[in-house]
Amino acid sequence: MAAMTSAEGAPGAPSHARSDIGEVLHAGDRRQRARRLRLILVAVLLCCIAASLATGAAGTSLWAALWDGLRGQEVALSDRIVLWQIRLPRTLMGMGVGAALAVSGALMQGLFRNPLADPGIVGVSAGAGLGAIAAIVLGGLLPAALAVPLGIYTVPVAAFVGSWASTMLLYRVATRAGRTSVAVMLLAGIALGALTGAASGVLVYLADDNQLRDLTFWGMGSLAGATWTKVGAGMAIILPALIAAPFLARGLNALALGEAAAYHLGIRIQRVKNLAILAVAAATGAAVAMSGGIGFIGIVVPHLLRLASGPDHRDLLPNAALLGASLLLLADIISRVVIAPSELPIGIVTAILGGPFFLWILLRQRGVLDL
């Protein structure tokens, strides 16, 4: 305290004062810690990528192939196919889906000013699912003028529209005069999930045998179907959302004080909210279109990061992309290994890991949350 006042200009020991300011800054500002964490997360992600490329049902060894390639020897054709056509797209898809789910979770929590908001929990993923199912079942009915330019993007775009509509609806229902009620948000999410589930059921009932097969594969929540085409189509939607997210960080930080305070700080609130909803819808929609329902990444990742380095969205959003990608790759590796050579759907793995974690968050916060 005394040192602080001397820092304000009164004669005193300036060097002492400066070190005191440094201490206060150090204690109160966690951005440096967050940046160091980002380096660690990049390293972790690289390890996860390597592990994901090295793991699989086939006996292909990533390291042997790399070593052969480096020495100028020809890599066996089967190994090249396994690595290039199967494991690499699968790994990229895992990274994209994991990053998309984690970032949309963080964005949604910032938008709803609520650490429990998550696309999976409040029915946004279900809305995306309805869009994807509708595209698979009714896609043939699209007029050629629309179907041809959409092409491989039909399913992800439909999922995007579905998740956008459900996010908008949810926001309208749960938010009044800038305040979101947790209870209304969760209950509206349940209603939304039931509605989209029913509509999806009707569509599944209408589907023919081929479409049913597609739906089943898609619905299991798996990265197994990864192809370059699928990865390309999904990434084209996910990447813009991931790139846009950090630009919303300042606005979301200010929104943590409430809409009025954010406005007073100079934030164009409506624009931030619209963009955040759009980014959530794009990321969730494309992720769901690529890999079906994978839960809990969107709530676990931001929560862990807030514990580690604080809630500043400028760091939270990029770090969430990194940690989400790593976690999903890890879950995918587990799903490939535990019952090899068959695979456990990855949605089951994230649910087993994330479910208890979610309960733990609830236990920790039930005193704070005014449900």
What is the binding site for another protein (CB under 8 A)?
Answer: 1, 4-5, 7-8, 21, 24-30, 113-115, 250, 253-254, 256-258, 260-261, 263-269, 306, 310-312, 368
Nearer to another protein, 30 or 38 (CB): 30
Least Cα distance to 229 among 345, 335, 58, 89 occurs for: 89
Which of 260, 291, 338, 298 shows the shortest CA–CA distance to 106? 298
Q: How far apart are CA 239 and CA 242, in angstroms?
A: 5
CA 346 to chain centre: 15
Nearest distance, CB of residue 311 and another protein, angstroms: 4
| Vertex 38: Cα angle to 35 and 40 (nearest 5) | 120
| HSE toward the beta carbon, residue 282, CA cutoff 13 A | 20
Q: Which is nearer to another protein, 213 or 271 (CB)?
A: 271
**Smallest distance from the beta carbon of 179 to another protein, in angstroms?**
9
Residue found by looking up tokens 């790399």 in the block: 66
Q: Fill in the amino acid letter for 278.
A: L
Nearer to another protein, 7 or 168 (CB): 7
Which of 307, 292, 300 lies closest to 353 in space, CA to CA? 300
Q: At closest approach, how far in Å is the CB of 267 from another protein?
A: 6
> Are 241 and 302 a contacting pair, CB within 8 Å?
no
| 161 or 245: CB nearest another protein | 245
- 32/229 with CB nearer another protein: 32
Work out how close the CB of 330 gets to another protein at its nearest, in angstroms, rounded to a whole number: 26
CB of 337 to another protein, least distance (A): 36
Min dist. Cβ of residue 166 to another protein (A): 22
Q: Which is nearer to another protein, 59 or 266 (CB)?
A: 266
